[in-house]
Amino acid sequence: MGFIAQSICETLWPTRCALCDTPGKLLCPRCARSLEFIDYYRACPRCGSPWGSLQCDRCNPVTERELADVSPCVSCFRYEGGAALLVKTYKDKGEQRLADVLARFLADVVDPAWKEWAQAVSYIPATTKARRRRGFDHMALVAQSFSRMTGLPCTQTLEECKAADQRTLSRQERIANMQGRFQAIKALGLNRVLLLDDVITTGATLSSAQCALDRSRCSTRIATIARA
């Protein structure tokens, strides 16, 4: 869009904060400060659980029987309050410009050593039904923006197999539903990928993706916008 067209659009429909509706920015400084950031030094170094630095309640041998094993993983926020609204506004209200905002948060939380380690950045593809409903693949846009910020090439590494909508399922049903959901794209030609997703709940989706890439001898490290 040209400068004049952008100016006209901004005059008619000024940019507003996605959380408080204040004119000016997509995410105003006050709302950005209110987000429930996860403290990197208090989080589990393996799965990224917010309070797991000393003893994780998510990836220890007992809870691993109930939750899918996903590691290593880091996340920006706890999925509540403003962070949950931010993700939902982006995914379900069509505010695609938030892709750059979310990608910046991810770029800040990912360890620089991970960026050096990875050959490419990739993402969990949206289901066909979700893409049709929203009109875009939300994590593809975030990954592309992340790529521009970090210089890592962006590539799709996974193809979707059939699975039910996760939002209607219990924790155990989510894990069973995700088994075999993904397959790695043939002739991938990559050994180390940084994989992005929006929200980690049980870890079932990411575990399935990680397993599919493992079968193609591609190692993964994972970063998500939020975790429930």
pLDDT digits (tens, 9 = 90+) for 13-49: 689 999 999 999 999 999 999 999 999 899 999 999 9
Q: Would residue 12 count as lying in a domain?
A: no
Phi, then psi, of 197 in degrees rounded to 5:
-150, 170
Q: What distances in angstroms separate CA 63 from CA 87, 114, 204, one per listed residue? A: 27, 27, 13
Q: Would residue 187 count as lying in a domain?
A: yes
Q: Would residue 5 count as lying in a domain?
A: no
Rounded-to-5 percentages of helix, strand, coil across the chain: 40, 15, 45
Q: Would residue 174 count as lying in a domain?
A: yes
Phi, then psi, of 130 in degrees rounded to 5:
-65, -40
What mean pLDDT comes out for the span 145-171? 81
Report the CATH number at residue 93: 3.40.50
* 173 vs 17: which has the higher pLDDT: 17
Residue ranges making up the domain that contains 140:
35-227
Q: Would residue 25 count as lying in a domain?
A: no
Compute the mean pLDDT over every residue in the chain, rounded to the nearest whole number. Answer: 87
Determine how many CB atoms are found less than 10 A away from the CB of residue 177.
20
Measured between alpha carbons, how far apart are the two ends of the chain, in Å? 37
In the prediction, which pLDDT does 59 show? 84
pLDDT for residue 65 is more than 90: no
Q: Would residue 104 count as lying in a domain?
A: yes
Q: Would residue 192 count as lying in a domain?
A: yes
What mean pLDDT comes out for the span 176-203? 86
In the prediction, which pLDDT does 164 show? 52
Q: Would residue 15 count as lying in a domain?
A: no
In the prediction, which pLDDT does 1 show? 52
Count of domains forming the chain: 1
Work out the percent of the chain whose per-residue pLDDT is above 90.
Answer: 68
In the prediction, which pLDDT does 61 show? 74
Identify the band that residue 96 occupies on the pLDDT scale cut at 50, 70 and 90: very high
- Model-level pTM? 0.86
| Amino acid in position 102 | L
In the prediction, which pLDDT does 169 show? 58
Which candidate, 5, 31, 67, places its Cα nearest to that of 207? 67
Q: Residue 31 contacts by C-beta under 8 Å, 6 or more apart in sequence? A: 17, 18, 19, 20, 82
Where would I find the beta strands (DSSP E) of the chain? 73-78, 120-123, 158-160, 182-184, 192-200, 219-227
In the prediction, which pLDDT does 12 show? 47
Instruction: Compute the distance between CA of residue 50 and CA of residue 74 in angstroms, rounded to an integer.
Output: 9
Question: Is there a contact between 125 and 139 (Cβ–Cβ < 8 Å)?
Answer: yes
Identify the band that residue 170 occupies on the pLDDT scale cut at 50, 70 and 90: low
